Structure 1
């Protein structure tokens, strides 16, 4: 990724190529909304940890929640959104508003019917699904029964949240990013309320969380409908599988299931294998994954959300140069945020876990074990984020086959890594295997985009990487200087831990931003036309 020689004699040129107009602002908007959601998500997990710890009940709930949540990411926000947004963008560019409305109606009816059927079958076969996704629970009759009962309550969330994702995809396609980004806040608020206020009223308190998931799905869907009405695209569902747009979405969606969601499949495989390990392993992976997903959701997914409609429109308009520049801008944005986030999570794994979750039923051993898997996930954080912006480079061009091939390779590699690492490293080995397969996935996606000419190196990469190295070196130095041993974090109260972590994070962010400025990186390099 060297800088072209024709530009090498221009030291005054910015190290970051001009960013597409509006994308930085939109990414910041989505990122800020997602940050609010993720912060509340951490509060939600802190409440769950305080009330339910990392015991059998928590393990059962996390499985019952992870199954529909996994399918939601796989089908709704994953394959469906990546297939639907390019088709909708094409209709928006080339057809009338009435034809766009007919597409929305046909997709709403066809998608809704399939989801309703899947939901009913899954509720009836909840024990079978539990046995498939958590086979280690089968020998524990009480845990298995509890997970199956909760799954019957949580699975309709797939239907509700998939329709929510459908509504959000329409809004995103029309550059209405704030509402879909804010919607997950409602899930976290509802679950917090269920844990605090509903759980004391139930014979089995952990069941309150399952009902919280169900209620949250309905609230999120109805929250977005008024904004679709304002846009003039309120769906009037009509089952029509012969509609050209529906056929195109289905054609793109089938392979996209693998291409966009390999990391989710890998995380689910971790849960399956963790169910065979000691009690608490599922919860340790869950808590560490939640922390690793904070920067992924706030920045990686935010950038991916705003570039997909933009890339789709540029492809429809045959603007190859702008397409390549947009993709390059997104990759640099991910590196700017993802690299320091990964380093911070590695260095502060146990202190972060202790600050957020070391309350109530959570023990010092839970902190140590969760810290191990957090470090392993952090090793792949940058790869997870890059996948989110590289995959749209294929989907925007309505190429879903290439990511499928790459996804299958990465998934098989993850299985191999799991079997190699689970024995010496237990649950942390599962997390590390996921990270290794993510890097393989990233490398293959990047190579494919470069080979097809969809991504071309823009001027200034060498200088940009040097600037990143300087700034991240300064970040690591300040963290190592200010951070205390884990025992000291565990010995003080929650308020002191929170205050110390706030000081540490603020100092780290400030030093990183100052170092970036001294190295020559400016915000205008990312936002100028």
Structure 2
């Protein structure tokens, strides 16, 4: 059993490498936080202008389809498959071979995405019906979804190529630009909603054009920084190349293994389309709030550790590999536990403060808060999946996460059918959270059983610190919470003021609780 954390307990001078792990995670988290905050502003604008009606439902489906596939291609399967191969090539220290591989991978990926995009443009009505079968009874709603899908789907190609370039930057430890890039999507959608929508016959169509514009801007932002690395090469087809075959071979199973949570959320949308109008939107707004801590911390940590894990595997450093996973798990628990508690206890205040304006009514707030509370139950497990899966992908083991993913997705489908009839859209969120629990437990147990991850000393006291500090957080929320009806009648600034008081006091209570229990900054450092 490793003792990196115990050595850090007594060492006031962590290694440069340790600072790199924590520092890089904080950089990515801060950039992602900016993006998520703008994302919430975007959703506030959309909720105010379009509410949770049929037009909003149509856009969310048209956006969710390419966005779901983006997570498979861009930040999901492709990234998990490409980075380990890139680490192997970097060990050879041959820039020409590296550039040749990048060129062929880029060209092959571009060709595959182009074919998929063309097919989707032609088959947009069919895709809309497949992903939202409940729209079949409303021809206008289904037609609007298909029209917007033809505009939004090319975003998949643009953002996937952006993700490819981002993988090169992340591998070079240049995390800022890839983490900052999503800001452009939010800026584009806010601009489209406020400026373009009033000028269009069907205002919601402006959001679809905003998605397309964002893809172009995001790709353009990455280009000069990749050029600085000397890796901005002309794409060439290379399906017969050994390295391209290796990436594609790893990518196919990773497309499923890394994206089970997204597949489950997409299944939620499909079933929600069969429920009363507004169900898709209620799930969307609650999912967006859940994505804030997941994206800021879970994905940030996963982004930082994957290149390091891949390099440690390539250099045959199993203990450092295990210690990196152990550090990532501790960071997830440190943030994920209080975040899940806050989302669950403050569901109505959060939804009301952010979305209860304009077309968003009282019922929409209460129904969105109910599904947010169900998603909060699974937040910690969604975050754990993000840091456990790279433990397999960095070792180019794609089969194990796929097997686990199949079990998780099957359980989600079964739970959906069991819970949806009793709890409607809330049952769909509950099923997704429970399947995430199964996925995370099986991933963690697999790494432990194979001795890939060996827990470092100090887990008992670390867990106790989080437990007691979380108790202090709950106490603050209990003492400062106001009845839900007040949140529904208060104005914007009253809500913001009350929520800010609760959040600030809650963070202070949690932080002070950790310090009083003996947690220090050096305990958060990664492995040497």
User: TM-score by structure 2 length?
Assistant: 0.97
- For the Cα contact (< 8 Å) 1:255–1:400, is it kept in 2? yes
Matched with 1:392 is 390
Matched with 1:361 is 359
Structure 1 residue 12 displacement after superposition: 6.9
Matched with 2:123 is 125
Matched with 2:327 is 329
1:527 to 520, 525, 528: 525
2:431 to 430, 433, 444: 433
Structure 1 residue 9 displacement after superposition: 11
Matched with 1:184 is 182
Q: For 1:98-137, what aligned pairs fall within 5 Å after superposition? A: 98-137=96-135
**Structure 2 CA distance for partners of 1:210 and 1:512, relative to 1, 3 Å:** same
2:196 to 169, 186, 198: 198
Structure 1 residue 94 displacement after superposition: 2.3
- For the Cα contact (< 8 Å) 1:20–1:326, is it kept in 2? no
Matched with 2:155 is 157
**Structure 2 CA distance for partners of 1:460 and 1:271, relative to 1, 3 Å:** same
Counterpart secondary structure, 1:257 = helix
**Structure 2 CA distance for partners of 1:254 and 1:378, relative to 1, 3 Å:** same
Matched with 2:379 is 381
Structure 1 residue 521 displacement after superposition: 1.0
Structure 1 residue 235 displacement after superposition: 2.7
Matched with 2:472 is 474
Q: 1:275 and 1:436 mapped to 2: Cα distance?
A: 21
**Structure 2 CA distance for partners of 1:10 and 1:392, relative to 1, 3 Å:** closer
**Structure 2 CA distance for partners of 1:155 and 1:9, relative to 1, 3 Å:** closer
- For the Cα contact (< 8 Å) 2:4–2:323, is it kept in 1? no
**Structure 2 CA distance for partners of 1:393 and 1:10, relative to 1, 3 Å:** closer
- For the Cα contact (< 8 Å) 1:58–1:206, is it kept in 2? yes
Matched with 1:292 is 290
Matched with 2:443 is 445
Counterpart secondary structure, 1:138 = helix
Q: 1:465 and 1:48 mapped to 2: Cα distance?
A: 40
Structure 1 unaligned regions, length at least 5? none
Q: 2:267 and 2:381 mapped to 1: Cα distance?
A: 18
Matched with 1:506 is 504
Q: For 1:44-443, what aligned pairs fall within 5 Å after superposition? A: 44-443=42-441
Q: 1:416 and 1:408 mapped to 2: Cα distance?
A: 12
**Structure 2 CA distance for partners of 1:451 and 1:200, relative to 1, 3 Å:** same
Structure 1 residue 11 displacement after superposition: 13
**Structure 2 CA distance for partners of 1:525 and 1:491, relative to 1, 3 Å:** same
Structure 1 residue 20 displacement after superposition: 3.4
Matched with 2:514 is 516
Counterpart secondary structure, 1:413 = helix
User: TM-score by structure 1 length?
Assistant: 0.97
Structure 1 residue 10 displacement after superposition: 11
Q: 1:276 and 1:12 mapped to 2: Cα distance?
A: 54
Q: 2:393 and 2:92 mapped to 1: Cα distance?
A: 18
Structure 1 residue 502 displacement after superposition: 1.1
Higher mean C-alpha displacement, 29-38 vs 497-506: 497-506
- For the Cα contact (< 8 Å) 2:9–2:523, is it kept in 1? no
Deviation digits for residues 392-444 of structure 1 (CA, Å, limit 9, x no counterpart): 00000000000000001100000000000001100000000000000000010
- For the Cα contact (< 8 Å) 2:4–2:456, is it kept in 1? no
Q: 1:304 and 1:88 mapped to 2: Cα distance?
A: 17
The Cα RMSD (Å) is 1.8
Q: 1:161 and 1:8 mapped to 2: Cα distance?
A: 38
Structure 1 residue 469 displacement after superposition: 0.7
- For the Cα contact (< 8 Å) 1:479–1:504, is it kept in 2? yes
Counterpart secondary structure, 2:258 = helix
Counterpart secondary structure, 1:22 = helix
**Structure 2 CA distance for partners of 1:8 and 1:374, relative to 1, 3 Å:** closer
**Structure 2 CA distance for partners of 1:280 and 1:340, relative to 1, 3 Å:** same
Q: 1:498 and 1:524 mapped to 2: Cα distance?
A: 34
Matched with 1:460 is 458
